[in-house]
Amino acid sequence: MQKKHNQVDIKLLESEILNGDIKSISKALTLIESNLPQYHNLGNELVNSLTKHKKNSLRIGITGVPGVGKSTFIDAFGTLLTESGKQVAVLAIDPSSGESGGSILGDKTRMNELSKHPKVFIRPTAAGTTLGGVARATRESIFLCEAAGFDVIIIETVGVGQSETMVHSMVDFFLLLMLSGAGDELQGIKRGIMEMADALVITKADGENEKKAEMASREYANAMHLFPPKKSEWVPLSFTCSSQEKKNIDKVWNTIESFENQTKINGWFEEHRHIQDKYWLRETLKEMILDEFFENDDLLEQLKLKEEQVFKGEISSFQAAETLFNAFNSKVRGTN
């Protein structure tokens, strides 16, 4: 009886999401992210039934160090998009919230203009989750936003830690925001992240800072010429913008549109999505297998014993892993 009632709710939620109802997306995400299996399973059921309705949104990743001007930029950029009739979602990933309980992205009022817009969906990461958990939640959020018919999904992350790589693996276009004053920032942002960028935009190019920003942009453009060519055949651009003066915000969008056109013609757009889907299928599977191991008290107990034996030099870590794997294997076979 209970299940039937829930099923009705899920159907209702599904049709509300398909109608682009923002509150229902939040409700669905709360279900998916719930630690209670009955809610979590309902969330999964919803995601499954929405699969056939999946639409094609453009997914844009935006990263940069704290203070580079991400939220101010997304505010201006998202507003520009909504003014041209696009429906925009912003999913913010804050890698600090899981580890420290604190937050880099969440502490302040962000995206003042955009958050007032009734059709814009803005969601921070659920706090207290692991990077793997965050990745999954973000993928599911993207999925729901696509089903709800959003045209542009922006995924924002702080330019520290591993979260950029994760965001890069779930977006079509990756935008790196940088401050002028080069040298220092080159060290702050790892070269690998610069190599991932499809465009590099120097922020705060206004007032006294304008010339410096132009110079930095040229330096970065030169540096980027030395990077290996991209599989997308897209040649990354570097330019400046000012979110405060709304300068070059449209150039960012035009660049992204050119990228979309070019990669849809040469086939990369679709190929890239397939590569990403394959990657995430495998990642999710790995995580499920790991969870199964690490959520089993008996196996954890055995793990502790093996660790001690390894510390004492009684067995090698390889041997310990193999024994544990065998124990895991027989448990899985035993329960299925």
Interface residue with ligand GDP, options 206, 283, 287, 292 (CB under 6 A): 206
Nearer to ligand GDP by Cβ, of 6 and 244: the residue is 244
Interface residue with ligand GDP, options 125, 203, 232, 263 (CB under 6 A): 203
The Cα diameter of the chain in Å comes to: 70
Interface residue with ligand GDP, options 103, 232, 240, 242 (CB under 6 A): 242
Q: Stretches 68-76, 84-92, 114-122, 144-152: which one binds ligand GDP (CB under 6 A)?
A: 68-76
d(CA 255, CA 93): 24
Does residue 69 belong to the site contacting ligand GDP (CB under 6 A)?
Answer: yes
Nearest to 63 by CA among 175, 170, 147: 175
Quote the tokens at residue 206.
Answer: 């206004």
Nearest to 36 by CA among 11, 6, 14, 8: 6
Nearer to ligand GDP by Cβ, of 40 and 212: the residue is 212
Please, is 166 exposed, middle or buried when counting C-beta atoms within 10 Å of its C-beta (0-12, 13-18, 19+)? buried
| Secondary structure letter of residue 112 according to DSSP | H
Pairing of strands 58-64, 173-178: parallel
Q: Tell me how far CA of residue 171 lies from CA of 58, 71, 156, 228, in angstroms.
A: 8, 18, 11, 20
Does residue 141 belong to the site contacting ligand GDP (CB under 6 A)?
Answer: no
Does residue 92 belong to the site contacting ligand GDP (CB under 6 A)?
Answer: no
Nearer to ligand GDP by Cβ, of 243 and 263: the residue is 243
Does residue 91 belong to the site contacting ligand GDP (CB under 6 A)?
Answer: no
Does residue 59 belong to the site contacting ligand GDP (CB under 6 A)?
Answer: no
Quote the tokens at residue 17.
Answer: 């999401």
Q: Stretches 162-170, 223-231, 239-247, 253-261: which one binds ligand GDP (CB under 6 A)?
A: 239-247
Does residue 267 belong to the site contacting ligand GDP (CB under 6 A)?
Answer: no
Interface residue with ligand GDP, options 24, 243, 255, 263 (CB under 6 A): 243
E strand segments, 136-269: 152-158, 173-178, 199-202, 237-240
Binding residues with ligand GDP: total (CB under 6 A): 14
Does residue 68 belong to the site contacting ligand GDP (CB under 6 A)?
Answer: yes
Binding site for ligand GDP (CB under 6 A): 64, 66-72, 203-204, 206, 242-244
